[in-house]
Structure formats: C-alpha cells, structure tokens
Amino acid sequence: MTDYIKQETFLIPGASGRNMLADLTFDIRNREAPLVIFAHGFKGFKDWGTHNLVARYFAEYGFRFLKFNFSHNGTTPEHPLDFVDLEAFSNNTFSKQLEDLKLVIDFATNGSNFLPVKTVFLIGHSKGGGISIIKTAEDERVKKLITWASVADFHNLWPKEAEAQWRLTGKQYFINSRTNQQLPVKATLLDDLGQNQKRLNIFLAAAEIKQPWLIVHGDTDPTVNISHALELKDKQPNAELVIVPEANHTFNSAHPYFEDVLPAALKEVCEKCVEFLRD
C-alpha cells in the first residue's frame, strides 16, 4: 500500500539569529492544501510525544501541517529532542517567541518556500496558545485560530510570589519532570513582560480577535486550569469553546509515546479541529 504522507525538514531563521528546526507534513497528492502552523508549549518541542501523529492526522484530512521549535526552547537542530542549550532557554522571552512565529508565517507565505499559501491557520498549545492568540490579533494573515489548553495570562506559568526572588537572583529554575533537569530562565523574561504590558496581555488580544477561534481544553487539566478557557471565552464571546471530558493538559498523550494511534481524547480534539477548519 502506498503511503502518500511525507515529511520534509528544514531550518527557518529565528529571533536573535538562531535557527529554528521545522518540518512540514503533507499528502503528496495535495500539495496546495491549506497550511496549519503549530506552536508548542513552554517545555515542549515540535517532536514531543504525539505531535508527529497529530501532523499526520491533519495531512490525511486535507491539510499541510508545519511545526517548529521556537528559537530559544532549549533544543538545537542537532539535538531536537533534548534540552541541551540551557543558555538559550534562559534567554527566552515572549517577545522573542512572537518574533519567531512571525518569521515562521513569513517563511510560509513569501512564495519561495512552498506553493503559494493563501490560507494560514494557527494551533497553539499551552504557552504557545497565548503566543498564538496575540499573533492572531495582530496578523491578518492568520485566518483561523485554535488553542489547546492555552494560558490566559503568562504570569500564571509560575507562582506570583516567586517573582521577587527571581528578580533578586536574576534567574528562576523550572523543573522538567520528565528529565529532572533544572531549566533556568533569566529575569529578562519578567522585564519583557513589564516593558510590553499591553502587547503581551493575552486578554486584550483575545478581545480584539476577529477571526474564527476554537478554544479547546481538558476538564481535568492539572497544569493550566480550565478556568483559563472560560476566561478567554468570556473575553471573546464569538469564540467556540470545546471542553474535552477526562482530558489532561496534553489530552492524555505523553512523551515518549510508543503507540501508533492517537489517544482517544486527542483524536477527538483533532476531529473537532478538522471540522472547525473545514467549516
């Protein structure tokens, strides 16, 4: 049986001159399919867990799926599955991630890399959801937005009471529960939030979104409480809200993931997303 689903890997220049490893999953019989761009979360990367299965699902149902590693996510093009560049991770900011996403959209739409892309859809997970909300509000090239377990406020990624010590020492450590690595983030991230309060306010961006928007959240998410989804829906009443029962932050997927089929909750999410994008 012929497998028509292929994946191509390439580099995209990102913030501060750092290259971003990216890949495009597509059906070779449908090279002009609409393009979905996927933005991963805080301690995520493009090949995490089920992401490649998700990409394949979208390709099988009529889309091209582009996912990428943010320039300062701690991985490198040579080591895409591991946090080997902790200095880059420590220098990450939300403004850099917005620049990264803009550069990915530029890459996809400038006509020299793909067949002409007229339609760009965004899917953002967790912190990548917050980034995608802001980018959608400020970039009309994004025609539809989907957020998965998105944060409604970047400050919710850490305890508020940690900020004073963070500023005092200049660095805060976040534990990667999978590898037990202590991942450092410099106080420049807090400075970025302070200096760009309006632009980095997810609620303000949510209220300004004019494009169709699907908010998806699991009702047993222990990482980003379902209240975030309800607050985003409150800020943008035109958005469609889907609550997935008995689903956690990653819709019951994990890393590493050894199955060749999606978890039931994540498959349900993908089905609803394809229906939303086709509508």
pTM > 0.75: yes or no = yes
Taking the domain 5-155+199-278, which CATH number applies? 3.40.50.1820
Contacts of 276 (CB under 8 A, 6+ apart): 144, 146, 212, 214, 240
Q: In the predicted model, is pLDDT for residue 29 greater than 70?
A: yes
What sign has the CA pseudo-torsion 139, 268, 51, 90?
A: positive
Return the pLDDT at 179. 86
Whether the bond into 256 is cis, omega within 30 of 0: yes
E-strand ranges in 14-51 read 19-27, 35-39
pLDDT per position as a tens digit, 91-148: 999 999 999 999 999 999 987 777 668 779 999 999 999 999 999 999 999 999 999 9
Residues whose CB is less than 8 angstroms from the CB of residue 180 and which lie 6 or more positions away in sequence, other chains included: none
Predicted confidence at residue 115, as pLDDT, reads 67
Residues paired with residue 19 on neighbouring β-strands, in sequence order: 13
* Region 263-270 average pLDDT: 98
Residues above pLDDT 90, as percent of the chain: 91
Of 113-127, 165-179, 210-224, highest mean pLDDT: 210-224
- Terminal Cα-to-Cα distance of the chain (whole angstroms): 31
| pLDDT for the residue numbered 119 | 79
The pLDDT of residue 126 is 97
For the chain, domain boundaries: 5-155+199-278
| Contacts for 70 with CB less than 8 Å, ≥ 6 apart | 14, 20, 39, 40, 92, 96, 97, 100, 128
pLDDT (0 to 100) of residue 279 = 87
